[in-house]
Structures are given as C-alpha cells and as structure tokens.
Chain A
Amino acid sequence: MKKTRVARIGLLTVTLIGVLSLATVVVLSICVGSTSIPVLDVIKSFLAAFGLIKRESIELSVYMSVIALRLPRILCGVLAGGGLAVSGTVMQGVFRNPLADPGLLGVSAGAGFGALIAIVLGLSYSFFSLPAAAFAGSLAAVAIILGVSFAARGSTSTVTLVMSGMAVSALFSAFTSLLLTLSNEYQVNKYIFWTMGGLSNRRWEHVYTMLVPVMMCTVVLLLLAGRLDVMMLGDEQALALGVDSGKNRVVMIILASLCTASVVCVTGPIGFVGLMIPHILRLIVGPSHRRLCISSFFFGGVFLTVCDTLVRWISSFYFREFSVGIVTAFIGAPYFLFLLIKKRSSFL
C-alpha cells in the first residue's frame, strides 16, 4: 500500500460529474411516482415552464404534476441533501474529526425544541411559524455555544466547542422532554412526526424558504474550503500559513449551522446525509476540502433525492407515506458499518 500512487480527480471534473448526475437524477425522479411520466414529457414541461415551447403542447395535468407537485419536492430534497452534506463536510473538517455531523453544536436539538414550542402553542397551522420557531431554536443553541466559548476567554478550541455543544444539546433535549410530558397526545404525535423528517407535501414556498440561506452558506463555505485543508495541520501551523484558525472556525461553524438550521426547519431532522456523504466522497475524491465540499453539495442532493424517490415509489403501492429519514438511515447505517468492517476507518 505504501508506495502506491494516489491519483486524484480534478476540481472541474468533480463539478461536471456532480452537475450531470444531479440533473439526471432530478429528471428521472420526476418520472417516478403514483403515475409514471415519460422523460420526454418531463423535459417538455421544463421547456414550457421557461417559455421555450408553447404550454399547450403538453397536457395540463402532466405539466401541473411536474412543475407544481413533483419539482418543488425534489428541489427541496436537493437543497436539503446538498446543504446537510456541505455542512457535515465543513464540521468534520473544522473539528478535524470524521465523527462530527451538522447537528454537533446543538442545531438539531434547538430546532426540535423550537418546533415543539410552535406545536404546543398551536402555531403550526400557518405555513411559516413552525419553520421559523425551529430556526430560532437552532440559532439560540448555536448562539449559546459561541457565547460560552467567548466567555471562556475567547477560547475557540475544538474541545471547548464540542463540550459546550454536548451540554447545550442535552439542555435543549431536557427542555423538549419536559414540554412533551406537559403536552397532549395530538401535540406529541405531531412532534414525533416532525422529528422523523420528511419531504412530503413540500411546495414552492418551502423551496423559496431554503433557497437563499442554503445557497448563500454553501457558496461562502465553498470559497473558504481551501483554508480548511491548511487548518488540518493544526492551529499553529495554519497560522504560519496565513490562516487564523480561531476566526475561520467561528465563521465556518456559524455558516454551517445556519445552513443546517435552514434545512432542518423546513424538512425536520434528516439523519446520515451530513455524516455519511462526506465519508463516502472522501474515499472517492480525497480529503482536499474544495473538491470535497463541491461534490458533497451535488451528491448530498443526489443521495437525498434518490432516497425520497424511493419513498414516493414505495408509497405509490401502499398509499401511505413514510419519512425519508428512515430510508437514509436504512441505507446509511449498514453502509457505514460495512466501511468500518473493511478497515477503511483509518482513511476516513
């Protein structure tokens, strides 16, 4: 193994393959559903939506189910998967630890508590209040953690951050449990349904809610990703290479948490995407963070879209939808264990 040459795929190739795979997966997954739609009709609908061909050239019911029903749900999946995977990659890099995931700093626990408050207060009937409350919850969690690390004499060491993240997560979980014991059955059910995460009935409003924060965070993180490589050498060595690890760490954590929070508040927590996608891609494109981040966005999107398509396909037989988090975990967990057994863990 020692003297083997390691060949790497270039940044441009990675991006190109990512774009093409994502586009293919999006188009193909629109075809799948309670009624199958031919690929040609899907492409025609796209062209009609952009006004490139006449809308009359395609059947209205087909056009509506492509553009108004399936596309927004799939775009939600793309944004959620991409955002979670990029955040996971950045978190693993920032903490120099392959076990970090986007929820490490209490984002998920905070979002859960926020969502539960909205449910208990009966705010969940309007479209925006539940996501807004979940978002506020995650921001509160991250704010507390950063506040603690600043109060500890500006210490942004990874240990301080992880420890306070664990403490804050535990605190929010305790609040959630307390509130759950005080809630009625309907509210508990509703909360449990939310915690399973899912993309069913997601519409264009949901896409628009996520679009700006997720894309903004992703783009900035992509630009900063080069610094993450240098930060792998340790704080002092990074400083000698012109990168202030402390400052960059805080900025990246805020961006990754913001990105995760915007996803989680719309879809609920979806596990394994943020943890697993970076691992798998690291084996394929190598640990260099520019390539890793950009491929994480595309293949996180691909992975979640495929999982959600599976959900839609299976539920078209049973007339009952289940959460996409179940599929990501069913695919993700065994694969993860397989990786560990294959002793590739030292390469992760």
Chain B
Amino acid sequence: MPKVCVSAKKLYFSVQNGQTELSILRHVDIDAYTGEFVGIVGPNGAGKTTLLKALAGFLRVKGELLVNFNGELQPINKIPVYERAKQMCFMHQDTSVPFAFTGREVAAMGRQPWQGRFSSPGDADRKIVDEALRRADCYEFANSYVQNLSGGERQRIMLARALVQNTPTLLLDEPTSSLDIRHAQKVFCLCRQLAEHGHCVIAVLHDLRQAAEWCNRLYLMHQGEILAHGAAEEVLTPNNINGAYGVGVEVFRNPANKWDYFVK
C-alpha cells in the first residue's frame, strides 16, 4: 500500500520584482507516494525548480505542505532541519564546490545527517559511500578533485551524494542535464529502481521522451500552475503541449513502441 510522502495544497510563492510582485507558483497541488517516480515537466520559467525547492522546504511558501515524518504527515516547518534531512534529499543543478574537495569527499557529505557531531566516518560509512559511487557510476574518478571533473562527472558525484543520504524521498533538479545518453539512461534506470524499492523520486525533467518512458506520473507546469497531471499518455497530448510550450506537435508511437513526438 503506497503511502503519501509529500502532499502540497495551494502552494503560492512570489518574489518582489522591482515594484511589482511576480508570482512564480500559483496554487499548485501536488502529491507523491512511495514507490513512485514523479516527473515535473514544463517550459523554461514555468516554476519547476521553484516547486521542487518549495517541496524541499527551502522557500517561505503560502499554502499547505505536508511531509511524511515518522509515519505520519506533518507540516514541513514543524520538522527540525536535521530530521528533514533524514526524510528527503535534494540534488541541485549547481554542481560547483569551492576549494579542492575530492569527489569522494563531496559524496560522503551525504552522511552528514546520519553522523554524530563527535564521530568520525567509520567503515560502515565508507561502505555506503563506495556503493553509492558505484551506483552513480563515478567510482573511477571519485578520488580526483571535483573542480577537475567535467560537468557530467560532477553531476554524477552529486547524484552519489544524494544516494549516500539514503532518504525515503529524493528531489532531483534536472539530474541528467549534463549527462551523455548512456549515463542519462543509467540515471533514469536508477531512479526507477529506487522507486521500485519503495523510495519516492520527484525529478524536474526536460526531455519529454524520457520523462514519458520512465516516470510513473507526470506533472506538466505552465506559468506557475499545474496544467495537467497523471500518466504520460494523458498529460503529454498535443493539446497540452501546445498549451504549455506553444508549439504544435504530433504525438506517435515510435518503432520501440514508446511515446514520441515531433514538432510540426
């Protein structure tokens, strides 16, 4: 029986843009359950990243935001920050790190919420980090300086850090934006695996084909609102895509019998 991991109702968020107020999220409702890989798609500036950050508790939003904590839903701002970090992790698009940290050191930072202030990382911690580095396919270059790695390699290190944190809910902001097709495929596979093992993965995605192929459910955003949500076939209709992106598309099944589209 899937449990609710994150439940948000009427989320509203705005920023001051000079004299005017610019609303970025307008009454967004979103739910995510255990065992689910949920994709958030939409054009640039639709508010996808802001929604993800709101779910992570980074922003002061209006509305109701409940998070599963110790088996029951609680308002996120009632949960202490260090407890939240055991419930959900967040993978940022920004992968830069100042100073010469190695990839392994950055990945190991995911153990922070589970570590006491006085304890040093032990063998168990090292094993968890090793395994995460292997799963994110960055074991070979983990002992290099992060700033010497390519964007894609850095992104995989950040994914490894999210895996190290080992939380029931994972919030990933465009986890494959810098990855080549092979590694992107691997990451989607991994997200699906995590979901099948009872995690709840919520990811902002740009590639509609991959979103349709791998996600259990999609939320299509447009101008701070949810335009449609549900299974890929229901959400990614020519009508909805035209409404969100402003382009006419034809939707079809490709030879691999997967959802596909082309721009008319």
Contacts and interface: CB of A to CB of B under 8 A. Distances in A.
B44 to A, nearest CB: 20
B109 A6 contact: no
B94 interface: yes
Interface string B120-143: 100000000000000000001101
A286 B105 contact: yes
A96 interface: yes
Contacts of B145: 6, 347
A3 B144 contact: yes
A2 B82 contact: no
A2 B82 CA distance: 35
B99 A236 contact: no
Interface string B20-54: 00000000000000000000000000000000010
Interface string A296-309: 00000000000000
Contacts of B149: 2
B144 A6 contact: yes
Contacts of A253: none
A281 to B, nearest CB: 12
Interface stretch (B63-71, B110-118, B212-220, B255-263): B110-118
Given A236-B92, A347-B100, A288 B57 contact: no
A11 interface: yes
A287 B99 contact: yes
Interface of A is mostly: loop
B113 A239 contact: no
A348 B100 CA distance: 7
A242 interface: yes
Contacts of B143: 4-7
Contacts of A227: 112
A240 interface: yes
B120 to A, nearest CB: 6
Contacts of B90: 236-237, 240
Given A234-B92, A234-B94, A98 B112 contact: no
A233 interface: yes
A162 interface: no
Contacts of B106: 233
Interface string A152-177: 00000000000000000000000000
B254 to A, nearest CB: 37
A241 B92 contact: no
Q: Which one of A224, A239, A346 has the highest number of Cβ atoms from chain B below 10 Å of its Cβ?
A: A239
B55 to A, nearest CB: 11
A7 B104 CA distance: 11
A1 interface: yes
Interface in A64-118: 96-98
B144 A2 contact: yes
A287 B101 contact: yes
Contacts of B89: 240-241
Contact of B81 (A224, A242, A346): A242
Given A2-B144, A240-B90, A233 B57 contact: no
A286 B98 contact: no
Given A226-B117, A286-B105, A348-B99, A242 B85 contact: yes
A229 interface: yes
Minimum-distance CB pairs A-B, first 8: A242-B85, A240-B90, A287-B99, A242-B82, A242-B113, A5-B143, A347-B100, A241-B112
24 contacts: A1-B148, A3-B140, A3-B141, A6-B102, A11-B120, A97-B98, A226-B117, A230-B112, A232-B97, A232-B98, A233-B92, A233-B106, A233-B109, A234-B94, A236-B53, A236-B58, A240-B88, A240-B171, A243-B85, A286-B101, A290-B120, A347-B99, A347-B145, A348-B100
Interface of B: 53, 56-58, 81-86, 88-90, 92, 94, 97-102, 105-106, 109-110, 112-113, 115, 117-118, 120, 140-141, 143-145, 147-149, 165, 171
Given A3-B140, A236-B53, A236-B58, 20 more contacts: A2-B141, A3-B141, A4-B144, A6-B145, A11-B120, A223-B117, A223-B118, A229-B105, A232-B98, A232-B101, A236-B90, A239-B58, A240-B171, A241-B109, A241-B112, A243-B112, A282-B100, A286-B101, A287-B101, A347-B145
